[in-house]
Amino acid sequence: MLQIGNTLISTDVLEKKFVCDLEKCRGACCVAGDSGAPLDEEELKILEKIYPKVAPYLTEDGRKSIEKYGKYVVDSDGDYVTPLVNGELECAYTVFEGGIAKCGIEKAHADGKIKFKKPISCHLYPIRINKLKNGVEALNYHKWDLCKAACTFGKKLDVRVFQFLKAPLIRKYGKKWFEELEIAVEHLEK
């Protein structure tokens, strides 16, 4: 583990290779899983506010599920997550393009309709954040068989998890934090 400020970073985040390969996985992370994407509490208000601009991007089933279950739900672990289509399928915010699952929120962002890119848990995947006592956050690499192609692609390109996730890590923790991370990794390698 490496500590920077109030974060503990798993060595897997620093060492494992990973680059999403949508052509191979087809966006399976938007479709598979026991519950929707984890949400931070501040993201709940954002989803309420942006939903009218995001709704036109969503599938009919996605919109119906959000109308039925809400813009977010509480899962079996007591965490806020995005709702699932019919309460059991893909994330209700998922859209499909050419057979690839993508994020309707991110599409609205790309079109300049909203400033919010997508939930930080999605943007940071395969990093999962566990909130510990005293405000410390543990950043762990989440290994999922669905992402075997991403691991292979990351090895081929020689890109580590933290490098692949530079933009979302800066979004979450700031540029100074990321620079400290790079310096710490460089120091560890010497």
pLDDT tens digits along 3-20: 999 999 999 999 999 999
What pTM, to 2 d.p., does this model score? 0.90
Q: Which residues contact 41 (CB under 8 A, 6 or more apart)?
A: 80
Residue 62 CB neighbours (<10 A): 24
Q: Which residues of the chain have pLDDT under 50?
A: none
Q: Which of these, 86, 85, 121, lies nearest to 101 by C-alpha position?
A: 85
Strand partners, 91: 84
Whose tokens are 């009919």? That residue is 60
d(CA 90, CA 101): 9
Residue 94: per-residue pLDDT: 96
Instruction: Measure the CA–CA gap between 106 and 123, rounded to whole angstroms.
Output: 10
List CB contacts of 154: < 8 A, sequence separation 6 or more.
16, 17, 18, 19, 160, 161, 164
Residue 49: half-sphere exposure toward Cβ, Cα within 13 Å: 9
